[in-house]
A and B are shown apart, each in its own frame.
Chain A
Amino acid sequence: MAHVILKDLVKSYGSVYAVRDVSLTVNDGEFVALVGPSGCGKTTTLNLVAGLIPITSGDIMIGDRIVNDLDPKDRDIAMVFQNYALYPNKTVYKNLAFPLQMRRMTTHDMDQKVRDAARMLDITHLLERLPRELSGGQQQRVALGRALVRDPAVFLMDEPLSNLDAKLRVQMRSEIKRFHQDFDATIIYVTHDQLEAVTMADKMAVMNGGYLQQYDTPAQVFANPVNLFVASFVGSPAMSLIPLEAATNGGTTMLSSAEGWTIALSDQNARKVQRAKSKKVVLGARHSAIRLHKTQVEGAVPAKVYTVEPTGDVTFVQVFLSGAVVNISLPPTFEVEPDEQVWLEFDQNRMHLFDGETELALND
């Protein structure tokens, strides 16, 4: 296994930039998820690392080698694709053997490696089958096997779970995580599903518009999103973001809404707001950091319930507040009706504040 370093990586098609100045380091044995919405440049970044498309500028290092101009086969990588990309006319055995065959390995060594990989992934009984005779999960395992058999420096995975049904996806998620742990594999994993990234990866690289927005552990990204995009993208349900204005009244800094209500800020939050470029501030709060009251309470702001979604363990309530939709989680025993008048109280310690102009997080 090896580390991977991307330095100022750029890919442009004429004047259109798919990837812009992406720099990040994937340490040896680390599982890194590239995550972002469609068209954010995550798959392009992966294909650049794989060598399937040429880079415009920047450097890619795998291990201690700069691989910018190397063919995919010389980069010591293995790739798992969205549709598994198993050769449909070859048996599982031949699929696993293919990368070795292309490297002119002797039949004896090849057989050994194929059988080892098959044993590790528990697909030995499938070796003589054709891919179309396998279930989605089995095909997935064969695809992993074909990557594993090569003993590559880095595994690249391009949305490998997005074709599976919900139940199998959860199962395969833990299998891939287990795969990572068992083989100490360096993995770069592309997904549009932030939940996959959060649950599987050691670090997540959130991308948007070709730029790397934030690169950190899932816990850090979740707790301290650097800007509005990351805040809205990571977490399910998404963080509620309410555009407000900062105001000062008799030495107290507060946030005021167009609807007329205000929220007085703690000292720490007041210092954050004072760093904003203008008066425009966006208040961010996760569903669990908002308390819902059925009666007026000191410091709570009035709102109206829009929908109530019981999920069993938790009931999610959506509330309209100052033009934004606010998600709140409640215990299932809490009874609330659509269109009911409620009051929301924001937890000052778990409140996120963003500059309304620059969209960056405001820090103390």
Chain B
Amino acid sequence: MTDVTAQSRPAARPGGTRSDLLRQIWISRADYLYVLPAIVVMLVVIAYPIYYTVDLSFYKTPPGLQLKDKSFVWFDNYTTILTSGVFWRVTLNTVIWTIASTLIAFVLGYALALALHREFAGRGIMRAIFIVPWVISAVAASYIWKWIYHSDFGIIGVVMVQLGIVDRPPNFIDSVNTVLPSLIVVNIWREFPFAMIMMMAGLQTVPEQLLRAAQVDGASAWQRFWHVTFPHLRGVSTVTVLLLAVANFNSFIIPWIMTGGGPSNASHIWITHIYELAFGRQRWGVASAYSVLLFIILMTLGYFYVRALSQGERRERGA
């Protein structure tokens, strides 16, 4: 069918001229008209801010909301960032935060999806309970966890003391050493339901016959997972991991509300650090340069995401 349509359509002339292009546009003028409002909105709220951020990243800006005294400094802001110790600290935090949150949330979600895929009494209730962390507001969750971790009144500390594990409640989020892992736990708690839902949806697409064939062939439950389920869900897994990675790279609410990046930058990740530089210390130029770097990194991640998606589609089409 498609071949016939392709043949019946006049072949595009190689090296189309300018007037060809204009004629094409004129022919589909209505289509352009329909998308025009969307394009305008995109230009105003996305393209212009991106342009302005890139532009600003080359200027030294005095503190204050007045940007008229800015001076062009070439790549000074970038050099400042890359030579500062804080940058490397924050980058390391971001990497740890992103990788740990992503992988643990994914593995946990995957495991729960597998567990909940079987029929058993109370499965529906379990599923509903596990989805709760994902549906409650991140802000509310952050405040709740702040209290759970509180060094005087936090439930975890109290329980640990009563069980005799420690003498006095530990400083979960007030200590440089434990703050980042503590925040990562909260982040995983919030994100695993997403991975779980994605993988549950994926599990429903695993062909029953393949699992039965493997069972007859003598594969144990683990071998059936490894040889049938796991390869079948590779596409869904890639997409889930990438979505989680991008979301984690962009995290803001949990670290900002729970610690504001402290103590001594121990829980700052890129987004909170940029936010603090810009809106806390009003260092617009440096903050813009940070944003540009972040943008480049996220675009790279995005590229791999899209590529993984299209490869998954190609695999499914069986090309």
Contacts and interface: CB of A to CB of B under 8 A. Distances in A.
Interface in B206-258: 207, 209-210, 212-219, 223, 227-228, 231-232
B209 A83 contact: yes
Contacts of A132: 318
B110 to A, nearest CB: 18
A98 B214 CA distance: 8
26 contacts: A52-B215, A52-B216, A71-B215, A73-B217, A73-B219, A77-B216, A78-B216, A79-B212, A81-B212, A82-B209, A83-B207, A83-B209, A85-B210, A85-B213, A87-B213, A87-B227, A87-B228, A87-B231, A89-B231, A89-B232, A90-B227, A98-B219, A98-B227, A99-B216, A102-B217, A146-B217
Interface in B160-211: 207, 209-210
Contact of B210 (A52, A77, A87): A87
Interface of A: 50, 52, 71-73, 77-79, 81-83, 85, 87-90, 98-99, 102-103, 132, 146, 150
Given A87-B227, A89-B231, A102-B223, A72 B207 contact: no
B223 to A, nearest CB: 7
B217 A98 contact: yes
A150 B318 CA distance: 29
Nearest to A131: B318
B209 A81 contact: yes
A52 B227 contact: no
Task: Give the one of B217, B218, B223 with max A CB within 10 A.
Answer: B217
The list of the 9 closest CB pairs from A to B, nearest first, reads: A73-B218, A102-B218, A85-B213, A99-B217, A89-B231, A85-B209, A132-B318, A79-B216, A81-B209
Given A89-B231, A102-B223, A132-B318, A73 B215 contact: yes
- Which interface class (under 10, 10 to 19, 20 to 34, 35 or more) fits B? 10 to 19
Most buried by B among A79, A83, A85, A87: A85
B202 to A, nearest CB: 15
Contact of B216 (A73, A89, A90, A103): A73
A132 B314 CA distance: 12
A87 B211 CA distance: 10
A99 B212 contact: no
Contacts of B218: 72-73, 99, 102-103
A98 B209 CA distance: 15
B219 A85 contact: no
B215 A72 contact: yes
From A77, A98, A146, A150, name the one whose CB has the most chain B CB atoms within 10 angstroms: A98
Given A98-B217, A102-B217, A146-B217, A52 B209 contact: no
Nearest to B212: A52
A245 B74 CA distance: 106
A72 to B, nearest CB: 5
Contacts of B207: 83, 85
A79 B228 CA distance: 17
A120 to B, nearest CB: 19
Nearest to B217: A99
Contact of A79 (B213, B223, B232): B213
Contacts of B214: 87, 98
A82 B213 CA distance: 11
Given A83-B207, A87-B210, A50 B227 contact: no
Contacts of B231: 87-89
B219 A102 contact: yes
Nearest to A89: B231
A212 B77 CA distance: 84
A77 B218 CA distance: 10
Contacts of B209: 81-83, 85
B186 to A, nearest CB: 37
A83 B211 CA distance: 12
Contacts of A90: 227
A132 B215 CA distance: 22
A99 to B, nearest CB: 4
Contacts of B213: 79, 81, 85, 87
Contacts of B219: 73, 98, 102
Given A50-B212, A88-B231, 14 more contacts: A72-B215, A72-B216, A72-B218, A73-B215, A81-B212, A81-B213, A83-B207, A87-B231, A89-B231, A98-B217, A102-B218, A102-B219, A103-B218, A150-B217
Contacts of A50: 212, 216
Contacts of B232: 88-89
A105 to B, nearest CB: 11
Interface in B252-294: none
B209 to A, nearest CB: 4
A151 to B, nearest CB: 13
A72 B215 CA distance: 7
A78 B210 CA distance: 14
Contacts of A77: 216
Nearest to A53: B212
Nearest to A146: B217
Contacts of A89: 231-232
B214, B231, B232: residue with the most chain A Cβ atoms closer than 10 Å: B214
A160 to B, nearest CB: 11
Contacts of B215: 52, 71-73
A132 B316 CA distance: 10
Contacts of A102: 217-219, 223
A102 B227 CA distance: 11
A71 B213 CA distance: 13
B77 to A, nearest CB: 48
